[in-house]
A and B are shown apart, each in its own frame.
Chain A
Amino acid sequence: MNMFLHELKVYRKSTIAWTLALVALVILFLSMFPSISKEAESFKKLLEGFPEALRVAIGLSVENIGSILGFYSYIFLYISLVGAVQAMILGMSIVSKEIREKTADFLLTKPVTRTQILTSKILAAFTSIVFTNVFYIVAATAMASVVETKEYSIKTFLLLSLTLFFLQLIFLALGIIVSVVVPRIKSVLSISLGTVFAFFIMGAVASTTGDTAVRYITPFQYFDFAYIVQNSSYEYPFMIAAIGFIAVAITASYFVYSKRDIHAL
């Protein structure tokens, strides 16, 4: 418990900052919605001028842009990008920070097992992600109800918003496994940004090919927003893939971390 609280405190400031950024972003995006939906027809015409491949790559389906769900699923791509960066940085930090800031000796010579240490750290990171998502969803839902006057499915809106949480969990797990496998990480930020953007671009490319198998490669393609809007549910094979990846990454992290040598400097 002491370690959990300590870790939580360490990430408190950055979690609040990221949460505020995501909330600000969704408010900003959704505030554009009324003017876009008013001009939906002319906007559609403008967009139809774009090459189709580009539209598909950036996740734009022209028909839906005038409805809140269509608009939201379009802007959500960018919100999930920001969320993925937050989660990846967090995941990579929890172990590598101890090595980089040379505090590993302090923690690992205390009467605790490495499993306890990693568990506390993962739980603290998980809690931070939950915190972010609670505030994000409240802000997004509130903002959506302000800008959209017509009826829309709250359930679908929540399903879309919750993909942020799942996506963040995937990137958190990815960050953790990277940070326990790579012996010394100099810059968490550059590796996190690089990885997330690489997956993001792969996602954009994958959506132009329309190949299902390719979609398994990048977490950004695990949640097809158009599918969610149409069916009000997730695609289960991809949910299973996501859960499977998280489970394997976390288990492997425990294994590697408990066998690892902690070197002097």
Chain B
Amino acid sequence: MNVIEINNLTKYYGKERGIIDVSFNVEEKEIFAFIGPNGAGKSTTLRTLLALIYPTSGSAKIFGKDCIKHGPEIKKEIGYLPSEVFYYDKMKVIDLLNYSASFYQKDCGKRIKELTEIMDLDLHKNIDDLSFGNKKKVGIVQGLLHDPKLIILDEPTSGLDPLMQQKFFELLQEENKKGATILFSSHILGEVQRLCDRVAIIKEGKIIQLEKISALQENNYKKIKVETTANMDEDYFNIEGVSNLEVKQNIISFLFRGNINSIMKKISEIEIINVWIEEPDLEEIFLHYYEKGA
């Protein structure tokens, strides 16, 4: 079952491009990442799903209902964490959380307590006095306190220290195990790899790639580094399937996708001191998506 269905969603801000023809689905209980550089249209897509902005054309459904028409109804089951969290700064943390909880017809007191303990948050401080990271934590608790079925996060980890980020991911994974679907955007690809099942890559307002994380990693990409005895002709490895080619004196590194034998033959034909062949991380795979035409 699809929790989110996006069909040809397009948004222009006046004449300025927001997103063009974005279509993808997020399945139930999936962790889905939405990746792209700043200004690519990630926030635009997420904000349209939440009916904060209205699409120019196209539509999106959440839980099978139109996200604009049935916005208030479907938001009962959505938890949202905006990229920059700012809250009524004259309130105490607990007052804000209670205010947030008051929008949902259920008792969230217990969950607030649990979450603030996990997030190590002082309930009785003024929001004004909190650091950016702590405000972010308030945002996280605020987004999860009503046990939403769909969690939407816009750049969730910016501002969190690595330890807190780890805790936060565990929390998300736990929510996911309990049945929550998660959609989040990020420009830090390392995060995606650890957390999500599928990924959509957006560039200049258009979806350019939609794949399973496992497929991406298994896509026979190899990260190869060769140290040679003598300086090499720069174009020696410039064959089909090679990308991100870098030559630094006698150290050559590149990504390779294709028949592994062809590259092994190429390597065997020259004198080498050392060779490293690794699984590349996603960041390196995606780099060339961004660089193309950029």
Contact across chains for A101 and B86 when beta carbons are under 8 A apart: yes
A2 to B154, CA, bound (A): 26
Contacts of B103 in A (CB 8 A): 2, 110-112
Q: How many residues in B have their beta carbons less than 8 Å from beta carbons of A?
A: 31
Interface CB pairs A-B, < 8 A, 27: A2-B99, A2-B102, A2-B103, A10-B88, A10-B90, A101-B86, A101-B89, A103-B88, A104-B52, A105-B80, A106-B87, A106-B100, A109-B50, A109-B75, A109-B82, A110-B75, A110-B100, A110-B103, A111-B75, A111-B103, A112-B72, A112-B75, A113-B71, A113-B72, A116-B72, A262-B47, A262-B52
Q: Taking A111-B76, A264-B43 as given, write out 11 further A-B residue pairs in contact, using a Cβ cutoff of 8 Å, ordered by the A residue number.
A: A6-B99, A10-B90, A101-B88, A106-B142, A109-B52, A111-B73, A111-B103, A111-B104, A112-B75, A261-B52, A262-B53
In the complex, which residues of chain A have a beta carbon less than 8 angstroms from the beta carbon of B43? 264
Residue of B nearest to A265 (CB): B84
Interface string of A74-108 (1 = CB under 8 A from B): 00000000000000000000000000011111101
Where the two chains meet, the residues of A that have a C-beta atom closer than 8 Å to any C-beta of B are 2, 6, 10, 101-106, 108-113, 116, 259, 261-265
Contact A111 B52 (CB under 8 A): no
Min CB distance, A46 to chain B, in Å?
A: 50
Contact in complex: B80, A109 (CB < 8 Å): yes
The residues of A that contact B254 with a CB separation of less than 8 Å are none
Report Cα–Cα, A6/B104, bound state, in Å. 15
Please, how many angstroms separate the alpha-carbon atoms of A103 and B127 in the complex?
13
Establish whether residues B88 and A259, one from each chain, have CB atoms under 8 Å apart when the complex forms. Answer: no
Residues in chain A near residue B169, CB distance under 8 A: none
Q: 9 closest A-B pairs (Cβ-Cβ)?
A: A102-B86, A261-B53, A2-B102, A111-B75, A110-B103, A111-B76, A109-B80, A105-B82, A262-B52
